[in-house]
Amino acid sequence: MLSSTSPGLNMLYCVKVEFIEENNAGKPMQEIIALIEGVVAPSLEALEKAIQAKKITGGLAAGAREGFFIMDASSHEEIGGFLRGLPFWYAMKWTVVPLQSPRSAIEQDKAIIQRIKAMLSGKS
């Protein structure tokens, strides 16, 4: 299940996937059909299965050849393995961004402010 990025829990990643148009340039229609049936469809099925298992959430951009997902993973290796396991991994451009929780950012900001205040009070 998708979790927060609290300590000890999995991390969330924002994943953007884009189809590389050049992969189909000049190919005969039969080859494109084979690619869709043998590579694209099984990849989409795997993504749908991960959505149903609540491992990822998101979807495809309507009318475009790209998708956006939030994935819950225990490590960079886990997300890399999941994506590389998709049949269309090689045919897509992937952008993966680890996400920081707002709570974590708030705590970091508080710590920075305390350090700055301590520095300022020491100089007075």
Contacting residues for 32 by C-beta, under 8 A, at least 6 apart: 24
CA distance 22 to 91: 9
Residue 4 in any domain: the answer is: no
The CATH number of whichever domain residue 81 belongs to comes to 3.30.70.1060
Residue 44 in any domain: the answer is: yes
CA distance 72 to 99: 10
pLDDT tens digits, 23-58: 778 889 999 899 999 999 999 999 999 999 999 999
Please count the structural domains in the chain: 1
Residue 5 in any domain: the answer is: no
Residue 3 in any domain: the answer is: no
Residue 90's domain comprises 11-123
pTM: 0.77
What pLDDT shows up at residue 9?
64
Contacting residues for 64 by C-beta, under 8 A, at least 6 apart: none
CA 37 to chain CA centroid, nearest Å: 24
Residue-level pLDDT, tens digit, the chain, 124 residues: 555 444 446 899 999 999 987 777 888 999 989 999 999 999 999 999 999 999 999 999 999 999 999 999 999 999 999 999 999 999 899 999 999 989 989 999 999 999 999 999 986 5
